[in-house]
Structure 1
Amino acid sequence: MSDSAINIRRLDANASGFKQELNRLLDWEGVSDDRVNNVVKEVLHRVKTEGDKALLEYTAKFDRLDLKTGAELEISQERLQQALINIPKEQRDALELATKRVRLYHERQKSESWSYTEEDGTMLGQQVTCLDRVGLYVPGGKAAYPSSVIMNAVPAKVAGVPELIMVVPTPDGEVNEMVLAAAAICGVDRVFCVGGAQAVAALAYGTETIPPVDKVVGPGNIYVATAKRMVFGTVGIDMIAGPSEILVVCDGETDPDWIAVDLFSQAEHDEDAQSILVTPDADFADKVVASMNRLLPTMPRQKIIRTALEARGAVIVVDDMAQAVEMINFIAPEHLELSVDNPQALLPKIRHAGAIFMGRYTAEALGDYCAGPNHVLPTSRTARFSSPLGVYDFQKRSSLIMCSADGASVLGEVAGILADGEGLQAHAASARFRLKKS
């Protein structure tokens, strides 16, 4: 590994051509190529038509796991409990505390049914119900994330979902004990050792062993993301997530080492991750870059961090905090750190961000694991119109209408007039048949 300085972009928000350069920096096209699309289409078709037979073949091919029957795909509840017993106590305690905090936060999101009655006796309202069955995709093997189990399973369970089906690949039979322990703590109902596009297909269409679900959630590679995109409509999905992002806005008064490591924390995810610093203090920007260069050699994933910072990272100098807020709302970051004296004063001006971490002591990494809010967040500027994963993603709403005789007469006449105007005479007749006879 070279000891050369990190070649991170240094941008001036007032320089000529800045907006064009920023647009190029933010642009990330996560579209699958034809090869990926064709592979996924074939996998989906085979699992849909052949069921367990295709699942077992793909598991042998991609995960090098030779199973004889579909039943062998399932990981028993006893095995989950054994994992919970086997992991070190400090890991178990951390998982349990994180789960408790995430549950307490998400319990506040739960929607309830409501109704009201008008003067003539007509009742209108909304009935809130949970989904029947949800599928949770969890990366497996060495790239295992027990925190993703917590963040996806807990809101589903808080919503009241009666059955949560988890799929997790176990390449070469490698099982991550913390992932299984997290599934036990969160009350996951069934777990299957299958991954990739074939796992998404099994959840969407069902097989002899894996039941079909109503919604598929959870992160995965390009094949998983492509499969989720293709089965959407047959089932619901949470989102198609892009690379991880962090935007740190700092007034220049925070320890530059803290800011440098915060930028590293997202850059270490993968080479496409994006870490951006915005500050009105050019001298502070220099200090942060110096900290990054000094601290990078101490990071085990330094090669990935360097690649991400040089490919998609930036340090942007603005005039003042007002211009910094403009930058926030344009970038619409997944993670936003407000490392300033009075972050609450900026909140009313911030319209687009997935999660907002306020103050000098709030590292984004706390939100990834145990703060309480969900770490499944909109990426690639989709925070302009999307929200974090929450209980509301596992609930649905039905409208309630119950007319009284008087209400049916009033509304029937209005509906009849509108239906006539649209040329839908049966609609008009249906509405008017219930008019009270004078």
Structure 2
Amino acid sequence: MTASVPPQRPNVELREVARGVYAPALVFEVGVGAIMPIIPLSAVALGANLAVAGLLVALLGVGQIVGDVPAGALAARIGDRRAMLVAAALSVLALMGCALAPNLGVLGAGVVCVGATNAVFTLARQSYLTEVIPVVKRARALSTLGGVQRIGAFIGPFIGAGVVDLVGLSGVYWLAVLTSLVAGLVVLVVPDVAGAEAVRRRHAAVMVPMRTVLRQNARVFLTLGFAVMAVGAVRASRQVVLPLWSEQLGFSPATTSIVFGISGAVDMLLFYPAGKVMDRRGRLWVAIPSMVVLGCAILALPMTTTLAGVTVAAMVMGLGNGIGAGILMTLGADVAPAAVRPQFLGIWRLFSDAGVAGGPLVVAAGAALGSLAAGIGAMGAVGLLGAVGLARWVPRWSDHANATTRRRAAERETRPPGPTPTAT
């Protein structure tokens, strides 16, 4: 199956979408990143124990999973930019609920809603970039989006820490309210670069039920979809295995935070070069090394016993994760049928986010059974299996997998019409 690509404006550059996509993405993610470490603290302040506080944090991911498929349907019905505006507005309401929450139930509901609005905002940005950016620059555009999200999530907690010192825990939620308002305002005032023809196609599009999209694309979801799930699981587990292993080795929280920060810094430096490689050489030139490096680094982590060893493993994890920035969004854009792109991407993100939710659970299960190292090792093995799955199925579904698939696609496009000769 090869996704058809509608006519696109060949002169759209990344800088043209920077104000309308990357700027609000950065601002929005700063707010989400700021509240991440505050959610468990707010839960404790409302009377929760540590287990319940951890569950409240997990509800953010639950909200994203719940919101993925409706996000695709919403973007298909009202358009990508309007979906971003709706998400920003609902995020403001959800964050206000978190700031004013009188009990754990209201806080939990607010966190779920924030996760759902994040799913809408992320999917709409991905679908919009896929529409307006020429395919030869698609990977750079989407890897830059992934990089911007990483930068926002990285600096958000630092800004949030300053706000906590000034006005307390609730102030961080009000900071996130402000970032959501600013993100929505930027989307509202920045002109649409898609062009009149693309806007006309949006309005003329016929709404296709999600079950139809799922049925028509079942083969890609049952193959490449599971590789995508593995990638999401491994990448999410990285955020869990580092602090847990550091805790087992007896490092202080401050030391663990520094190691995690170093890993994040390496992660953020590589998104644009990775996108350029994907555009020039093909998606597998980044996808497979990313999973192999990340999987091997996770496998090596339980063998480390010193701060230096953990730091090196953390940096290699950051390297593996960083070179894969935007790979799932790019693959989704490659294989999504143009006529039902938002709905397809909603289901695609459901597979990815299910992996994100499941990865840390595998690590936690290993720890609960008495062997944290076994749980970490299992996720490292999943990373290597993910690399195998990508190598097996990406060329089957994407013309942009590598140089060979691109050459074959070009040959199909230049082949004269008429019956295919048969061998005699």
* TM-score of the pair, normalised by structure 1: 0.22
From the CA coordinates, give the structure whose radius of gyration is larger: 1
Indicate the structure with greater helix content: 2
**TM-score normalised by structure 2 residue count:** 0.22
Q: Is the strand fraction higher in 1 or 2?
A: 1
